[in-house]
Amino acid sequence: MIIESRSHQELIDITDLINEEIRKSGVSEGLINIFIPHATAALIINENDDPNVCVDFLKKVDDLIPLHDNYLHDRVDNNAAAHIKASFFRPEFTLQIRNGTLLLGTWQQLMLAEFDGPKTRRIEIMIRK
Amino acid sequence: MIIESRSHQELIDITDLINEEIRKSGVSEGLINIFIPHATAALIINENDDPNVCVDFLKKVDDLIPLHDNYLHDRVDNNAAAHIKASFFRPEFTLQIRNGTLLLGTWQQLMLAEFDGPKTRRIEIMIRK
Amino acid sequence: MIIESRSHQELIDITDLINEEIRKSGVSEGLINIFIPHATAALIINENDDPNVCVDFLKKVDDLIPLHDNYLHDRVDNNAAAHIKASFFRPEFTLQIRNGTLLLGTWQQLMLAEFDGPKTRRIEIMIRK
């Protein structure tokens, strides 16, 4: 699965895309492992109903891990902050499938966290009954 | 499984509850996926033998992500900090079952991290051999 | 699997060791759960090609969670910061096996994050087709 991010930093709701993959698999109950093979992006789960939750999240992450802060890796690639954020927020979730859909709470969506966009990002899934 | 939190912020040891669910399943070796369907709580693993580990953890989390800090979502729901914390600490673990019990180290317990209590919280599990 | 850390804090690339375990299992496609049964270490995924990514990461983690900061647990065991870091970075990953090897991106390696070394650390894995 391919996601094109459009901003330098953003959260992209991928819940519907994952549910479409589950539907295509025909599995109604099981586990799905979702993985992004990138070291400057991550997966998070949170509310996307009030989009300000995402704004607040990204602002706080930037407060704690500023884009530039004398990072050594910036001399090579200028994206050290994105690497650090990717380690904080991780590239993997294993989630439950119930009734052919992702088990999430009312206020939870699955989002790709882009920390070094815009970029073309892949998502790799594996489903097991 | 239902957990009633009693404080605004607290860590609740759910290791025994999960082990009881494993026992009821009859599975002696496999994987258990543990998920909380909430966007203002999370799951963490740490020591609960010295309860001050939990006190230190919650204090540090509040230092880094203060309860109020001009978050935009606070205008709607006044719990933006809890949402941010939930994204840092995540709602999911997939753990190993060995000899009919959760594989954990001597100093590890599984805890529900309540960031916006008191609230009624659900925990959803799926076990696979 | 046993890992001996040599420094107080360091990232140890365990990608090759995990791939060797996968090879021995004979499983070519499935899931592997990787768990460290310790409350003062964690698992992270990031780039290890430019080792400064690891240097930047550990420095930032120390900036946010200093080694000493009036933690209550330090009166008992003097490693409160390591416990807090272990909760931020978690002891578990569930990853995909494809073609008999760990599915990782070009710039991703799996690393044990030692926060209270030097110590002897165990890694427990479970593989499912």
- pLDDT per residue as tens digits for the range C57-66: 999 999 999 9
Q: What is the model's pLDDT at position B76?
A: 93
Residues of B in contact with A18 (CB under 8 A): none
Tally the C-alpha atoms within 13 A of residue C46's C-alpha that lie toward its C-beta. 31
B128 touches chain C (CB under 8 A): yes
Q: What is the model's pLDDT at position B46?
A: 95
Q: What is the model's pLDDT at position C72?
A: 97
Rounded average pLDDT over A68-94? 97
A80 touches chain C (CB under 8 A): yes
Q: Which of B84, B92, B39 is nearest to B62 (CA)?
A: B84
Residues of A in contact with B75 (CB under 8 A): 52
CA distances from B46 to A62, B59, B111 (A): 27, 15, 8
Q: What is the model's pLDDT at position C40?
A: 98
Q: What angle do CA C73, B61, C116 make, to 5 degrees?
A: 45
Q: For A31, which of B72, B83, B126 is closest by C-beta distance?
A: B126
Q: What is the model's pLDDT at position B83?
A: 98
Rounded average pLDDT over B30-58? 97
Q: Are A80 and A70 in contact (CB under 8 A)?
A: no
* B–C interface: beta-carbon pairs under 8 A: 84
Helix axes C80-89, B80-89, angle to 10 degrees: 90
Q: How far is CA B51 from the centre of its chain?
A: 15
Q: Which of A51, A54, A125 is nearest to A93 (CA)?
A: A125
Nearest-angstrom CA–CA distance, A11 and B91: 17
CB contact under 8 A, B87 and A44: yes
Nearest-angstrom CA–CA distance, C113 and C9: 7
Nearest-angstrom CA–CA distance, B49 and A75: 44
Q: Which of residues 45-64 of C touch A (CB under 8 A)?
A: 45-47, 50, 52-53, 55-57, 60, 64
Residues of B in contact with A106 (CB under 8 A): 37
Q: What is the model's pLDDT at position B25?
A: 98
* A–C interface: beta-carbon pairs under 8 A: 84
CB contact under 8 A, A39 and C105: yes
Instruction: Please report where in the chains the tokens 């609960």 appear, as a residue.
Output: B48
Binning pLDDT at 50, 70 and 90, where does residue C77 land? Answer: very high
Average per-residue pLDDT in chain C?
Answer: 97
Nearest-angstrom CA–CA distance, B13 and B18: 10
Average per-residue pLDDT in chain A?
Answer: 97
Q: For C56, which of A64, A73, A92 is closest by C-beta distance?
A: A73
Q: What is the model's pLDDT at position C125?
A: 98
Residue C95 DSSP code: E
CB contact under 8 A, A84 and C57: yes
CB contact under 8 A, B86 and A46: yes
Binning pLDDT at 50, 70 and 90, where does residue B36 land? Answer: very high
Mutation target to probe the B interface, by most B beta carbons within 10 A, among A31, A32, A50, A53 is A53
Domains annotated for chain A, with CATH where assigned, are: 2-128 (2.60.120.460)
Rounded average pLDDT over C64-78? 96
- pLDDT per residue as tens digits for the range B71-112: 999 999 999 999 999 999 999 999 999 999 999 999 999 999
What predicted TM-score, i.e. pTM, was given to this entire model? 0.98
CB contact under 8 A, A89 and B91: no
Q: What is the model's pLDDT at position A128?
A: 97
Q: For A126, which of C46, C90, C96 is closest by C-beta distance?
A: C96
- pLDDT per residue as tens digits for the range A23-80: 999 999 999 999 999 999 999 999 999 999 999 999 999 999 999 999 999 999 999 9
Q: What is the model's pLDDT at position B33?
A: 98
Q: What is the model's pLDDT at position B47?
A: 94
